[in-house]
Amino acid sequence: MDPIATARYGLMAATQRFESSAVRVATQGVEGSDVDVGQEMVGMIEAKTAFSANISVIKFAQDMWDSLLDLQR
């Protein structure tokens, strides 16, 4: 299992969720649009948290590789 590839997929998914919510909020008020702004804001906060968590996984994986390289010196 490659943690960086998994985190990369998570980053892309979180970005897509955030952008989708942002588009729905931006089109609020358009005729035929029924948007719950509160729900969309919660979705955007969840996407932001998921993005941050995936960045933390990448940083942790990098730290592990750095430690491994230090052991070999």
Confidence band of 73 (pLDDT split at 50, 70, 90): confident
Distance in angstroms (rounded) separating the CA atoms of residues 37 and 11: 23
Q: What is the pLDDT of residue 54?
A: 96
**pTM exceeds 0.85 for this model:** no
Q: What is the pLDDT of residue 40?
A: 94
Distance in angstroms (rounded) separating the CA atoms of residues 32 and 64: 51
pLDDT tens, position by position, 11-67: 999 999 999 999 999 988 777 778 899 999 999 999 999 999 999 999 999 999 999
Cβ partners under 8 Å of residue 7, min gap 6: 54, 55, 57, 58, 61
